[in-house]
Amino acid sequence: MQNRRLVAKFGGTSLADAGQFAKVKEIVLADAARKYVVVSAPGKRDSNDTKVTDLLINLAVACRDNENKEAALEAVVERYASIAKDLHLGKEIVKVIKDDLVGRMAKYSDNYGMFEDLLKAAGEDNSAKLVACYLQSIGENAEYIDPKEAGMILSNEFGNAQVLPHSYELLAKLAERDTIMIFPGFFGYSEDGDVVTFSRGGSDVTGGILAAAVNADVYENFTDVDFVYAANPKLIENPFPIPLFTYEEMRELSYAGFSVLHEEALAPVYKKGIPVNIRNTNNPDAPGTFIVPDKTAPK
């Protein structure tokens, strides 16, 4: 029997600042089975803030229009630099991130869709490098995983990629490693070697693909709510929590515009019958909501 395997995906609010990074670290280290960690780009720290992905889109536009590039670059670097500083990580990792961004900007091409994907992907890629650096700084055996080397191969539909079937076999090899693997969400590579992203919110899709590829016991999706609720908790007071859904119910809800998971994230785990557990980074003791093949199946 294989050892228990958990894929844990952390969304943008779970990585918005150093305090959130520390919570992610606690959660990752709390269970030795949590070896596959998928990360989003840093999200909003409060309702007036801007997600790093949106800052990167601003940077892509600044490059295209050749206007305010320095300020747009600084806005992105600053988000990572403040997290690195608060985690006492030293300046080296910030230089790595800045150099990475400058390198991407230098690859400006007339294919704007392709260029924008290259920049958008930097959000998750550098977030993963920063999480890996943080875990290493406290002596953990963690490593950043390069989606190209690992085999996250996608169709070349910029901004709306689909996974290519042979990715699963390639990604399955990650199970041979004994590190805590920090995998950037949201993007992969085309067969021509170009960076391509899923549609917005696509780190959920990365998590689903990885969970299916390594045959995870559970796909844990850490966000900022204790449960999935029957109504939006930001709009309705004390909405009814829903502890269990079937895939089918979840699919119907996402057609109805109920956004919990990216609608393409379920398909890979659906085929393998892997349960999804929506959980709260800010309250990891809450059991969260399970999305399961059917309600009688054991979890």
Contacts with ligand ASP, residue ranges (CB under 6 A): 11-12, 40-41, 51, 53, 123, 185-186, 200-204
**218 versus 261: smaller Cβ distance to ligand ASP:** 261
Element (H, E) at 150: helix 147-150
CB of 101 to ligand ASP, least distance (A): 15
**114 versus 294: smaller Cβ distance to ligand ASP:** 114
Contacts of 182 (CB under 8 A, 6+ apart): 37, 39, 128, 129, 131, 132, 135, 142, 143, 144, 145
**168 versus 187: smaller Cβ distance to ligand ASP:** 187
Please say whether the beta carbons of 186 and 124 come within 8 A.
yes
**69 versus 200: smaller Cβ distance to ligand ASP:** 200
**51 versus 79: smaller Cβ distance to ligand ASP:** 51
- Number of neighbouring beta carbons within 10 Å of residue 164: 17
**11 versus 275: smaller Cβ distance to ligand ASP:** 11
**266 versus 296: smaller Cβ distance to ligand ASP:** 266
Which residue is associated with the tokens 């930001």? 234
CB of 158 to ligand ASP, least distance (A): 14
Please say whether the beta carbons of 272 and 215 come within 8 A.
yes
CB of 4 to ligand ASP, least distance (A): 25
CB of 3 to ligand ASP, least distance (A): 28
Tokens of 5: 């395997």
Contacts of 157 (CB under 8 A, 6+ apart): 196
Phi, psi of 152 (to 5 degrees): -85, 90
CB of 21 to ligand ASP, least distance (A): 15
Strands 244-246 and 289-292: parallel
CB of 195 to ligand ASP, least distance (A): 13
**How far apart are the C-alpha atoms of 213 and 198, rounded to whole Å?**
18
**82 versus 199: smaller Cβ distance to ligand ASP:** 199
Phi, psi of 27 (to 5 degrees): -65, -45
Q: Whose CB is nearest to ligand ASP? A: 203
DSSP string over 15-44: GSSHHHHHHHHHHHHT-TT--EEEE-----
**How far apart are the C-alpha atoms of 77 and 240, rounded to whole Å?**
40
CB of 42 to ligand ASP, least distance (A): 9
CB of 218 to ligand ASP, least distance (A): 19
